Amino acid sequence: MNTITKSDFQFKNQIFKYEGKVRDVYFLEDDILLMIVSDRISAFDVVMPVGITYKGQILNQIAFEMLKSAEDIIDNWIIDYPDPNVTLGKKCTQIKVEMVVRGYLSGHSYRFYNSGKRNLCGNKLPENLKENDKFPSPIITPTTKADKGFHDQDISPKSIIDRKILSKQDYDFLHQKSLELFKRGSELADKNALILVDTKYEFGYDNFGNIVLIDEIHTPDSSRYFYKDKYEELQLAGKKQRQLSKEFFREWLMKNNFQGLEGQTIPNIDSEVVKMVSSRYIELYEKLLGKKFLVPKIQNINERILSNLKDFI
């Protein structure tokens, strides 16, 4: 009742429905998208068999507020926010490049650096950096969709232009806007005693050929955050940084012998585990947005969505 792991609505002028790992996207006539963010949770490319209370609402609300906070930088795909789990937006033609902005040597960039390589997507990396050190200035390491069945691949700006994925003018626009968005995200994080370590931005063309921001930005599912108060101390001591992300759930699965490998069984995710994960998502919400999470008055999510979207039924 108070989680939504599957949606099966029929809306006016509905053309078809796409079901992702977490989001169900209903394509309507007139290039309108109706996106329902479920409470499904995935890890190691596996969707878990139970939902996490309030997770969908939390991710949807963070994404909405973060997109609104950047509307002076670039337009986005959102039209309305009719329900805590739902976003209404305009269909765009996705640009097949994700703009990954990195302020620190973490995650993929650290693994790349640790292998001895120093040129990442056209960025020449300084010598003598340690894991999680701050770069002199943020770098952009674009990725592009590989052939089906493969993960995203790093790509240089030169290759993007040479392969005619984007014109130089459009790539330069994305580059500049991505840096501006990262600066805005970093400022918002700093106000809440956090450090925005790295994140990704996705863009698309609207019906008029304008480039707009799509998907989500600055959420814990698309970004890595460190706690600011202990960053310097931990870095000087060579210790692991405290992260604010959904990594905690992956760590719980690994402790219970699951990494999505063949032959492994998903551990029992009982009510206590659901409560633990839900409380961590609430903490993410309150830390990122700097305000208290409000539990919705109507707990039956399907009934609430039907009520809030009655004009579309």
Residue 150 has pLDDT above 50, yes or no: no
pLDDT at position 134, please?
98
CB half-sphere exposure, 128, CA atoms < 13 A? 0
Question: What confidence category does residue 295 fall into, taking pLDDT thresholds of 50, 70 and 90?
Answer: confident
pLDDT at position 1, please?
62
CB 94 within 8 A of CB 202: yes
Mean pLDDT of 247-269: 92
From residue 66, alpha-carbon distances to 34, 81, 184, 195, 256 in Å are 19, 13, 10, 15, 34
Q: Is residue 53 part of a domain?
A: no
Residue 21 has pLDDT above 70, yes or no: yes
From residue 207, alpha-carbon distances to 12, 47, 50, 77, 173 in Å are 21, 33, 38, 11, 18
Q: Is residue 162 part of a domain?
A: yes
Alpha-carbon torsion, ordered 72, 78, 82, 85, to 10 deg: -110
Q: Is residue 151 part of a domain?
A: yes
Counting Cβ atoms within 10 Å, is residue 312 exposed (0-12), middle (13-18) or buried (19+)? buried
Lowest-confidence segment of 14-28, 84-98, 159-173, 245-259 by average pLDDT: 245-259
**pTM attached to this predicted model:** 0.89
pLDDT digits (tens, 9 = 90+) for 57-67: 999 999 999 99
How far is Cα 226 from Cα 37, in angstroms, rounded to an integer? 25
pLDDT digits (tens, 9 = 90+) for 71-121: 999 999 999 999 999 999 999 999 999 999 999 999 999 999 999 999 999
pLDDT digits (tens, 9 = 90+) for 200-252: 999 999 999 999 999 899 998 889 999 999 999 999 999 999 888 887 898 89
Tokens 């551990």 locate to 267
Share of the chain above pLDDT 70, in %: 98
Residue 151 has pLDDT above 80, yes or no: no
pLDDT at position 146, please?
58
Residue 101 belongs to domain with CATH number: 3.30.470.20
Give how far the C-alpha of residue 138 lies from the chain's centroid of Cα atoms, to the nearest Å.
19
Q: Is residue 239 part of a domain?
A: yes
Count of domains observed in the chain: 1
pLDDT at position 149, please?
46
Residue 147 has pLDDT above 80, yes or no: no
Q: Is residue 115 part of a domain?
A: yes
Q: Is residue 295 part of a domain?
A: no
Lowest-confidence segment of 110-124, 173-187, 248-262 by average pLDDT: 248-262
Token digits of residue 274: 């659901």
CB 202 within 8 A of CB 95: yes
Token digits of residue 91: 């269909």
pLDDT at position 220, please?
85
Q: Is residue 80 part of a domain?
A: no
pLDDT at position 247, please?
79
How far is Cα 108 from Cα 36, in angstroms, rounded to an integer? 30
E-strand spans in the chain?
A: 14-19, 23-28, 32-37, 42-43, 46-47, 78-83, 86-90, 93-94, 97-104, 119-120, 123-124, 134-140, 143-144, 153-154, 194-205, 211-214, 223-227, 243-244
- What is the residue-averaged pLDDT of the chain? 93
Give how far the C-alpha of residue 157 lies from the chain's centroid of Cα atoms, to the nearest Å.
22
Q: Is residue 232 part of a domain?
A: yes
Q: Which domain holds residue 151?
A: 94-244
